[in-house]
Copies of this chain bind each other. A is one copy, B any other.
Amino acid sequence: MPINNFGYRRLFRFAGYREAEMAAIHFVRKLEVFAPLAPDGEQALHDLALKRPRSCPAHADLISEGEDPKTVYLVLEGWACRYKMLEDGRRQILSLFLPGDLCDPYVYILKRMDHSIAALTPLKVALITPREFEELTDAQPRVVRALWWESLVTGAIQREWLVSAGQRSSLEALAHLLCETYFRLQLVGLEKDGQCPFPLTQSDMADALGVTQPHVSRTLQELHDTGLVLLKRRQLTVYDVDGLRRLASFNPDYLHHR
C-alpha cells in the first residue's frame, strides 16, 4: 500500500460543530450559485455535510494512490490537495481543495486511486458514503445537476493549471495561482478587504507550479516589489487585483460562477 511522504495517515472523529456547520453552509451556498435547490434538497445536503465529521492532521494523506476509494470527502475546514509522486520523489500538486469543496463525487466507481489526497493544513472533512450519495441524488434530481456543475468547474480548473504549467512564465503562473485562489475563496466568503488565508508553503507552491522553492521565493518577491500582493504569515493581501489579473492573463470565465 503506497504511503505518503510523511508515512502516516489518520482520520479522527471530532465534536466542535461550529465551523463545520459554517462550511456546510458555504458548500450549499456555492452549489446554489449554480442551481437553485428545493428547500428540502438544501436541507438534505446540509445534513449530509454534518453526518460523519472527521479531522486529520496537516501533511497526512486522506487517501493514497493505489487505494480503493470508499468514500467521498467534503472539506469543512482547512486546505487539502491532490498530488502525484514520481518514483524519484518529484511531486506534482494537481489541485487544491478549499473549504466547501467536494472531492470527486463519483470516484468510488474506480477500483484504485490514481493519485493521493493530502491535508495541507489541519483539516476537517465530512465523509460521505456512495450509498448516502446515491440516496440523495435519487431523491433530489436538481442536486445531480449542481454536482455535475461542480465537477465540470473542477475540470476547468485542472485545465487552466495545465495552461499555466505549459505556457505561462513562473511569474505569470504564480500570479495566476494567487488570483484563482483569491476568487475561489471569495465565492465561499473567505475573502475580506482584499485579504484571504493562504496557508501553502513555498515548497507547496513550487510543487503546484512545477518550479523550485528558491525560485518561488524570488518570484513572490517580484510580485511584492511590483506592488501587486503581499504574502506573509500564511495570509495573502492583494493590493492590485486588476494588475494581478492582467499579469496572469486571468479570465475568471472558466470558474463558471454564473
- Contacting B at CB under 8 A, from A116-171, are 145, 148-149, 152, 155-156, 158-163, 165-168
- Distance from A140 Cβ to chain B, minimum over Cβ atoms (Å): 16
Q: Give CA–CA (A179, B74) in the complex, Å.
A: 35
- Which among B110, B115, B249 is the interface contact of A86 at CB below 8 angstroms? B249
Which residues on the B side are within 8 Å of A163 (C-beta)? 84, 86, 92, 94
Residues of B within 8 A of A165 (CB): 162, 165-166, 210
| A82 CB, min distance to chain B CBs, angstroms | 7
* B residues near A253, Cβ cutoff 8 Å: 66, 112, 114
Provided the pairs A106-B148, A109-B152, A249-B87 are in contact, do residues A162 and B254 lie with their beta carbons within 8 angstroms? no
Contacts A162-B162, A254-B114, A256-B114: A90 and B167 contacting too (C-beta < 8 A)? yes
In whole angstroms, what is the CA distance A91 to B210 when docked?
A: 19
Considering only CB atoms, which chain B residue lies closest to A163 in the complex?
B92
A interface residues, how many (CB within 8 angstroms): 42
Is A107 an interface position by the 8 A CB rule?
Answer: yes
Q: How many copies does the complex hold?
A: 2
Q: Is the CB of A166 within 8 A of B92?
A: yes
CA distance A207 to B166 in the complex (A): 8
Instruction: Give the residues in chain B near A114, CB-CB below 8 Å.
Output: 156, 159, 253-254, 256
- Asked if A228 CB lies within 8 Å of chain B CBs, one says no
- A155-B158 contact in complex given A163-B86, A165-B165, A167-B90, C-beta closer than 8 Å: yes
Q: Is A209 an interface residue (CB 8 A)?
A: yes
When the two chains form their complex, are residues A148 and B109 in contact, meaning their CB atoms are under 8 A apart? yes
Residues of B within 8 A of A162 (CB): 92, 94, 158, 161-162, 165
Known: A110-B149, A148-B106, A148-B109. A86 touches B158 (CB 8 A): no
CA distance A165 to B111 in the complex (A): 26
Within 8 A of B (CB), among A68-101: 82, 84, 86-87, 90-92, 94
The chain B residue sitting closest to A172, CB to CB, is B86
- What's the Cα separation between A107 and B145 when bound, in Å? 11
Cβ-defined contact, B109 with A145, below 8 A: yes
For the complex, give the distance between the alpha carbons of A149 and B112 in Å: 12
6 of the cross-chain contacts (CB-CB < 8 Å) are A84-B160, A94-B162, A104-B155, A106-B148, A110-B152, A162-B165
By a beta-carbon cutoff of 8 Å, the part of chain A in contact with chain B is 66, 82, 84, 86-87, 90-92, 94, 104, 106-107, 109-112, 114-115, 145, 148-149, 152, 155-156, 158-163, 165-168, 207-210, 249, 253-254, 256
